Homo-oligomer: A and B are copies of this chain.
């Protein structure tokens, strides 16, 4: 089944909440509870869960474990899948530190950098290789995702080489648009853009202001009073 991109994103988020909930011993949850933690409407949660064919009971809500199992079926990589990191500068090291502790299902199996003094060393539990070894190191592995944290002017070249080596999906931290085959998925995380956006919306409080119940007066019957998320774009 083909799932909408937005739904996938939300499922990732729901899952984190659900895992925490399960750890805390909560076994059931209502759509509005899950919605509250994620700036979405309960209707959105129900729709998302419906989309992945999860169902709950009006009396008891959804089973936390059931949701986690189903979301896991969709999101979990196969056990042998792994990620690699390209570029072990400040950002690369931060990523290694982050995934060394808080890491999800996908582990960073290897890192690569041009600087000779970064080759061979182990940083936050991850072995760092020279770029020359790229193909050799990833060939025997099943590398699903590459984290591209190299300088902007090297990003395209490295990305092209990654794809030639078989990588199907790239999380790109370089502030450039990568030109790659259509069947390669690219998710760009552009911190400067996020910051500019944030600065802009701190001045102009977001176009998509939540639609107030139209008409000036007090609407006599606000029906479901609890269906309102935050208003962020």
Contact = CB atoms under 8 A, between A and B. Distances in A.
B168 A202 contact: yes
A219 interface: no
B12 A185 contact: no
Interface stretch (A24-32, A56-64, A92-100, A132-140): A92-100
A38 B176 CA distance: 9
Choose among A16, A94, A152 the residue with the greatest number of B CB atoms under 10 Å from its CB: A94
B207 A106 contact: no
Contact of A187 (B9, B187, B197, B230): B197
B5 A196 contact: no
A147 interface: yes
A202 B146 CA distance: 11
A177 B37 contact: yes
24 contacts: A2-B207, A5-B197, A5-B207, A8-B197, A9-B193, A12-B193, A12-B196, A13-B177, A13-B190, A37-B177, A38-B177, A89-B94, A90-B94, A91-B91, A102-B175, A104-B196, A145-B195, A147-B195, A170-B198, A171-B194, A171-B195, A183-B205, A187-B197, A187-B201
A23 interface: no
Interface string A196-222: 111111111111101000000000000
A104 to B, nearest CB: 5
A81 interface: yes
Contacts of A9: 193, 197
B192 A104 contact: yes
A199 B77 contact: yes
Interface string A173-189: 00101000011011101
Contacts of A231: 182
A74 interface: yes
